[in-house]
Structure 1
Amino acid sequence: MTDVIIRPEDGAMYFTIGGRRVQSGVYRVTYTGKESTAPAAKRTSSKDRDLRHKLESFHGAQHKNAVSQSWPHLAADDRFISWAAMTAVMHQPVKQWQQRALTEKDPNKRVVALLALCKVVGSDPKNATADNTASKVDAKLRASIFKSLGQVDWAKLTHTSKLTLVRAYQIALIRLGEANAGVKGRIVKHLDPHFPAPNFEQNWLLCETLAYLQAPNTAAKGIKLLQEAATQEEQIEYARSLRMLKAGWTLELRTAYFEWFLKAANYRGGASFSKFIEFIRRDAEASLDAMSRGQLKELLAKKPVQKSPFEVMAQAMIGRNFVKEWKLEELSAASKTKLKNRDFERGRKMFAAGGCFACHRFANEGGMTGPDLTGSGGRYSAHDLLDQIINPSREINEQFVPVIVKMKNGETLTGVVVNMNGDRVTVNTDMFDPNQRVNVQRPQVASIEPSKVSPMPPGMLNLMREDEVMDLLAYLISGGDRNHKVFNK
């Protein structure tokens, strides 16, 4: 499905289907029954929505009360309100709020205000004009911004504000002109003690910022994170961040880095995915000095061994031992009392250790050959989720159920029907390669029957302890939200 709307004029639902190389179409769905089809009453006013709309009224215009009314909301828990407040401030004369941003006592507000200041007074060098360049930023103001950022106590920041602090440093480094060695050294001293951080979001920004600054500890820390990362998305971000780093490398670290590229050749993504990996590697090789290039000559010339996602999934389980053959009844019973105070990070690691990311999309990470599981916790109970993991062939998602096509000449095809057009049936015979398709003519087909065996293997939980299974289950239920109630301590 590519789009869906509810048309107010007739109350019908319209949706379209189609895509690359498949039949397109538009469908109209109407309701027949006794329930009322009268338009739903308009929603009552929302305090947060009204506040956001008020802040947005200051966007694009100068108003005498904009700064005073927006400033209290710079560090709002709702990121949309915080962003609306910051944007409102940015549209006011900078002289009205510049000094307030530099001296704001609340560290969570300060980092947002300084990010706004960097955006307003600085200039993106890629889009600079002769009259608007980073080199024209007042040197005293530039020094004041870096000094104010350096005074922020990391420990007093929320998770979101920590991201904002690092992002403010990034914007300042790019838009305020080249920082001298002393400034760069002080930024490294400020950020390096907090890298690695407890979560990927912070590590992502810290790694790329410290690599940009050529911090000497970044290579060792970054490679360790790369090797321990649960998903291909995380690994790619670390690999990308490290590609321009020239300081702090050893032969062992360089070897681990370029061995990762051989492994990444088996990761899956869109049509240009392999090209992005290639670009990262090209930049990484360009950062090598002559000695390192000579030491790594054989490794750089080595070609990757192609593996299927099933082999990649099996590789993820290496090192884990058989615990027991779990029964649905015992895990379902445990879930009734033990789905609280769970560990988000361990649940995510179990999702990776079980090989789930190889086929399933979850919170914008993972493969796409199986159903997206991000919303599964809102559709299924804990019991039903466990049932589908333990008994994958009991009920197979109709979008991913393989079919067995028996031809009259005795040939058999197994795959997924992706298109039917006239007498032609198109079957995708390799679930891991969307372009691997075979066209057959209906008159030549003896039968088409759904397979009773799921592509997902059983026994995925048998290598996990009960507490690990509960963390995995909590992770699924949360939809990837680390603030979900199942993780509350």
Structure 2
Amino acid sequence: SFITDGRGTQSGLYRVRYVGATTASQPADKPQPAAANLESDARALRHRLEAFHGGPRDGAIEVIWPHLSSRDQVLRYSARIGLEAQEVSRWQARALAETNQTAALTALLALVRTAGSETQPLLLQALSHLPLEELDEEHRLLKYRVIELSFLRQGSPTPELAQVVRAELLRQYPAPTWTQNRELSRLLLWLNSPEAVPRSLELLASAPTVEQQLHYVGQLRRAKTGWTPELRRRYFAWWLLPRDGLPRAPELQRWFAEVDRAPVDGVWLDRYLAQFREQAVAAVPNDERSTLGNLLSTPWIRAQLISPTPRSFVKEWSLGDFATDLDSPGKPRDLARGRQAFADAQCVACHRVGSAGGTIGPDLTTAGSRYSKRDLLEAILSPSNVIPDSWRDTIAVLQNGEVITGRVVRESDDDVVFEVDPLARHQQTLSRQAIQELRPSTTSSMPEGLVNVLTKEEVLDLLAWLGSGDRSPNDH
């Protein structure tokens, strides 16, 4: 099923069914009788285990326990959920004494999800009987998860227990794989291990993908111990490095490739990174900030930044100036010039296409697949003609006659919070008692005439580039 819609078009809900003839031949991927029997048996076993999910039942633990060590992840998961539904007092001792690696870690995961904080010393002691040196990667990751959940759900361990856990984790950090280093860095930095800061910075410097770098930057931002002036300089120097051209995680590339697109950052990534940097700066003691010089004052580099070039007025364009150009195929357009026009006309300050641009206005990455060139141009030339409700400003008329216009970002019975300057992220809180009237604005926050610094050919190139969705940013 799928839905079609768009500005000025009729919406539709469609359901597609195959109505052709079926073939008598057996598909190559259809399970053979023996495999089908195995699948049927596994399905029946899973259903039997799922019967214990609803609550305590007599004999459930004896049925469940052998499947905590199943090689089938689905059966193992179903067994664990069933175990969690039983009374903890009936299986806690067995979980703490289990010696099979898979069954022990699965049972301890169930224990940390159901027991109180009083079991944390016993749980961590049981984990110490499963040393990381004797576990393969799959079981190491499961042990890391149990430890993480213990700290999250049961609270900080005693200093003595924390030191034991920290010492074991440090012996593995850095690990030979990204998946292990991801969890080890989380745990060790949370445990305030001084050794974790320089080791994490080394991993940040050698991280091959954007996603890995962002992980280490995020984890290090609140680290309290282990810093030296040189390590802080290395950390804040990262924010001044461009991320353009760095490889993306292979799984991310596959997901985007399936829809014929190049990988792009999330819409809110830059805002999250701005918050990360603010938190990192706040964690620097005041007496150390002077040693970092311009690293703290220099604006950090955003991904896919398109640098604008100074422009002068060309013409006050109207829709009629393009009457013969919008509906005809015309000549091939210069997408690189259209991308540059996106910056020169200041669109990039508020709108995002791919990984380029701001988040103040609507994301235009897929605008070309939803709107015609005429609709796009009309929205550019006359932005107040059609204003989406989610992007409409609100006018507040105060009791003293003052008028304030902005985007409502939060409101309660007592206050309304306006974003009055989205570029500077300046907010203003107004008391409900001070407000005489609230009404939607009929004027778009997007100024008119932004494309008046472009030539006609550049405007057409801009429309073509918006239509492309910046599918091949590295080719521009």
Q: TM-score higher than 0.5 here? A: yes
Letter aligned with residue 117 of structure 1: L
Distance between the aligned counterparts of 1:422 and 1:301, measured in 2? 42
Of 234, 251, 255, 2:212 maps to 234
Q: CA deviation at 1:175?
A: 2.6
Corresponding residue for residue 335 of structure 1: none
1:329-384 C-alpha deviation (Å, 9 max, x unpaired): xxxxxxxxxxxxxxxxxxxxxxxxxxxxxxxxxxxxxxxxxxxxxxxxxxxxxxxx
Instruction: Name the CA shift for 1:161/1:256 in 2 (closer, same or farther; >3 Å).
Output: same
Residues 406-428 of structure 1, C-alpha deviations (whole Å, 9 max, x = no match): 98999956478323459646799
User: Residues 26-425 of structure 1: matches in 2 within 5 Å?
Assistant: 26-29=13-16, 31=18, 34-35=21-22, 45-122=39-116, 134=117, 137=118, 141-263=119-241, 268-305=264-301, 308=304, 414=335, 417-420=368-371, 424=375
In structure 2, what is the equivalent of residue 318 of structure 1?
none
Q: Which runs of 5+ in 1 are unaligned?
A: 1-13, 123-133, 312-403, 430-434, 439-443, 459-489
Q: Partner of 1:15 in structure 2?
A: 2
Alpha-carbon distance in 1 for matches of 2:2, 2:124: 52
1:240/1:114 Cα in 2 relative to 1: closer, same or farther (>3 Å)? same
Task: Give the whole-Å Cα distance in 2 for the aligned partners of 1:295 and 1:68.
Answer: 63
Equivalent residue of 2:370, what SS?
Answer: strand
Deviation at 1:218, TM superposition (A): 0.4
Relative to structure 1, is the Cα distance of residues 28 and 221 closer, same or farther in structure 2, using a 3 angstrom cutoff? Answer: same
* One-letter amino acid matched to 1:70: I
| SS, match of residue 369 in structure 2 | strand
Q: Is the Cα contact below 8 Å between 2:239 and 2:301 reproduced in 1? A: no
Separation in 2, partners of 1:21, 1:299: 49
> 1 CA distance for matches of 2:204 and 2:334?
40
How many residues matched? 325
CA spacing shift, 1:214–1:36, aligned 2, 3 Å: same
CA 421–299 in structure 1, closer or farther in 2 if over 3 Å, else same? closer
Structure 2 CA distance for partners of 1:105 and 1:22, relative to 1, 3 Å: farther
Where 2:239 maps in the other structure, the secondary structure is helix
The residue that corresponds to 2:342 in the other structure is none
Instruction: Provide the C-alpha distance between the structure 1 equivalents of 2:66 and 2:379, rounded to a whole number of angstroms.
Output: 56
Q: TM-score, normalised by structure 2?
A: 0.58
- Counterpart Cα distance in 2 of 1:309 and 1:290: 31
1:260-302 Cα offsets, whole Å, 9 max, x none, are 2233776952221111112222222222222332212421111
How far apart, in 1, do the equivalents of 2:53 and 2:20 lie? 47
Residue type matched to 1:27 in 2?
Y
TM-score, normalised with respect to structure 1:
0.56
CA distance in 1, matches of 2:6, 2:266: 14
Q: CA, structure 1 residues 24+77, in 2 after alignment: closer, same or farther (shift >3 Å)?
A: farther
Say if 1:405 and 1:412, in contact at 8 Å, map to a contact too.
Answer: no
Distance across 2 between alignment mates of 1:253 and 1:46:
57
Q: Deviations over 1:451-482 (max 9, x none)?
A: 9xx94879xxxxxxxxxxxxxxxxxxxxxxxx
Contact 2:96 2:122 in 1 (8 A): yes
Is the 2:210–2:243 Cα contact (8 Å) retained in structure 1? no
Q: Which runs of 5+ in 2 are unaligned?
A: 247-263, 308-324, 339-365, 381-390, 392-445, 452-458
- Percent identical residues: 28
Is residue 59–residue 91 contact of structure 1 (8 Å, CA) maintained in 2?
yes
Shift of 1:307: 5.9
- Contact kept? 1:107, 1:156, Cα under 8 Å: no
Distance 1:280 1:144 in 2: 36
Report how far residue 257 of structure 1 moved. Answer: 1.3
Equivalent AA in structure 2 for residue 63 of structure 1:
R
Q: What one-letter code is carried by the residue in structure 1 that aligns with 2:102? A: N
Amino acid at match of 2:110: A
* Aligned-pair CA distance for 1:93: 1.0
Q: Pick closer, same or farther for the CA change 1:422–1:409 going to 2, 3 Å.
A: closer
Could you tell me whether the CA contact under 8 Å between 1:59 and 1:88 is conserved in 2?
yes
Secondary structure of residue in 2 paired with 1:190:
helix
Q: Give the SS at the match of 1:418.
A: helix
Q: Quick one: distance in 2 between partners of 1:19 and 1:75?
A: 52
Structure 2: distance between partners of 1:24 and 1:307? 35
- Larger-gyration structure (1/2): 2
What is the identity, as a one-letter code, of the residue corresponding to 2:239?
Answer: F
User: Could you list the per-position Cα deviations for residues 15-47 of structure 1 after superposition, in whole angstroms to 9, with x for gaps in the alignment?
Assistant: 22459999854334455655569xx99987533
Tell me: CA distance 1:142–1:412, structure 2 relative to 1, closer, same or farther (3 Å). Answer: closer
Compute the displacement of 1:98 (Å). 0.7
